[in-house]
Amino acid sequence: MSRLDGKVAVITGGSSGIGLATAARFVQEGAYVFITGRRQSELDKAKALIGDGVTTIAADATKGADLDRLFATVLEDKGALDILVANSGRVEPEELGKITEENFDLTFDLNARATLFTVQKALPLMRDGGSVILIGSIAGYVGIPGYSTYSATKAALRSYTRTWTREFADRGIRFNTLSPGPVDTPIMDGQADSPEEADAIRAQFAAAIPLNRMGRPEEIASAALFLASDDSSFVAGAELSVDGGMAQV
């Protein structure tokens, strides 16, 4: 039997990188998955890659109306929800002294505020015993120059899981944070002004990791599968770091 047979999952930011790899793995394991993203063209590519077992919904996680439409669709199509992976996020590195108000507001709006309201709007659909996974980062507890705003938002997610685990203990919903180290996804290119600069960033991260390489989206998806499935039935309020040892030794 597949590990997610009959389960219904929502993955925000599921059109590329970690979200896409997680959606594909969940479908392979028997789940029906709804994925969101801002760009319909990328959602179409994700649908073509995954095939059956997935519905794509163009949505901006920072907009309440889009989230309402997302969960209304889930309710109409499937009636309930078992798994939520709050994966939407942004990173725009800048050192203290150069951080703009726009940078701060955009980063907190998507990474921290939108995550909270995504979970809040999903809860009425969640079956008792469901799993909520917040995609954090080791940046939430390791000092990385240039990542003040991003790191602070990821620390907030870790705090969310602690609080919500206590608040919803009566429903058996498991809240956990999955915190990757550096993973080779398109977001790396978004931090650079050229392909050469992006390669330099990748090399710098790889050199800092004991396994001497960056992570792959599929490896994070495997960890998400563990937290989504009954394999982690006694794991709640935790943070699972998948970082090649970068922040562990």
Set out the domains of the chain in order of their start, with CATH numbers. 8-180+217-242 (3.40.50.720), 186-214 (no CATH)
- Name the one residue in this structure whose structure tokens are 């991260």: 205
pLDDT at 1: 67
Backbone angles phi, psi at 186, to 5 degrees: -60, -20
* Contacting residues for 246 by C-beta, under 8 A, at least 6 apart: 138, 142, 181, 182, 208, 209, 210
pLDDT at 193: 74
pLDDT at 142: 94
List, edge to edge, every strand of the sheet that includes 32-37: 54-58, 32-37, 8-11, 81-86, 126-135, 174-180, 239-242
Which residues are marked as active site? 150
What is the biggest distance separating any 2 CA atoms in the chain, rounded to whole angstroms?
Answer: 54
pLDDT at 125: 98
Closest CA to 70 of 26, 16, 118, 133: 118
> For the chain, which residues score pLDDT lower than 50?
none
Q: State the Cα–Cα distance between residues 73 and 172, nearest whole angstrom.
A: 24
pTM for this model (two decimals)? 0.95
